[in-house]
């Protein structure tokens, strides 16, 4: 009859002391794991695995990987803003403006190239100007015949206001768009020409200040 070998149910300090150091076993290591397992209800092997895992994986590594993956997701990237120019309800119209006959003498005597004066007046006149849906008839002022003084450019106007002018005064769309807005633009430019000529005259008439010694 074989002798029954008793089962070890608890740590044996005497047996742990006989383990060789060459196997890199530390006495009491298993005891520590066993005590932790007894307190938490987790097997000793799982306790050791958790300990080694926490030592190998730096804290925050998983979170950093998740954040990187989320930021590289093309579905979460923000869309580029729509260009404001693409949404602008404006329409460009080619315009050409001449000075008046009554302004010819002052333009020739001002000492500045008349074409430059007319272009400067055009820039001032349309700065901040908005097209009105109320039609203005073309002025009957006599324009100069000197085409070299003519200012030509493209002017952006409000498409809604232009649509009202087309509906009320050119429903068949046979007139030039410049004819519809000319009555509003030309008087403003002529007024700015007068102002510039006056500024030039005042500057020319003012005495020069003597230089300080």
Predicted local distance difference test score (pLDDT) of residue 10: 60
Please name which of 184, 168, 193 lies closest in space to residue 93, comparing C-alpha atoms.
184
Which residues, in sequence order, are bridge partners of residue 155? 93
**Cα separation, 110 vs 153, whole angstroms:** 24
Residue 23 has pLDDT above 90, yes or no: no
Residue 65 has pLDDT above 50, yes or no: no
Q: How many residues does the chain have?
A: 213
3-class DSSP state for residue 26? coil
Predicted local distance difference test score (pLDDT) of residue 11: 61
Predicted local distance difference test score (pLDDT) of residue 86: 47
**Cα separation, 66 vs 76, whole angstroms:** 14
Predicted local distance difference test score (pLDDT) of residue 87: 54
- Counting residues of the chain whose pLDDT is more than 90, the rounded percentage is 49
Residue 181 has pLDDT above 50, yes or no: yes
Instruction: Give this prediction's pTM.
Output: 0.56
Predicted local distance difference test score (pLDDT) of residue 45: 46
**Which residues have a Cβ under 8 Å from the Cβ of 159 and sit 6 or more positions away?**
89, 90, 91
């Amino acid at each position: 009859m074989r002798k029954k070998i008793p089962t070890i149910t608890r740590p044996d300090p005497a047996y742990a002391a006989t383990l060789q150091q060459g196997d890199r076993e530390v006495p009491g290591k298993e005891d520590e794991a066993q005590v932790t397992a007894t307190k938490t209800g987790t097997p000793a092997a799982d306790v050791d695995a958790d300990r080694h895992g926490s030592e190998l994986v730096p804290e925050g590594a998983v979170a950093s990987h998740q954040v990187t993956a989320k930021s590289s997701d093309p579905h979460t990237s923000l869309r580029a803003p729509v260009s404001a120019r693409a949404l602008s309800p404006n329409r460009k119209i080619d315009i050409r403006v001449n000075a008046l006959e009554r302004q010819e003498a002052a333009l020739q005597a001002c000492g500045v190239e008349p074409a430059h004066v007319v272009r400067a007046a055009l820039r001032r006149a349309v700065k901040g100007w908005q097209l009105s849906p109320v039609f203005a008839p073309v002025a009957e002022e006599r324009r100069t015949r000197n085409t070299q003084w003519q200012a030509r450019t493209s002017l952006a106007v409000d498409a809604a206001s232009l649509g009202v002018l087309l509906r009320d005064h050119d429903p068949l769309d046979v007139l030039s768009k410049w004819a519809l807005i000319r009555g509003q633009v030309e008087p403003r430019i002529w007024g700015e020409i007068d102002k510039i000529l006056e500024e030039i005259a005042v500057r020319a008439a003012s005495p020069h200040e003597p230089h300080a010694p």
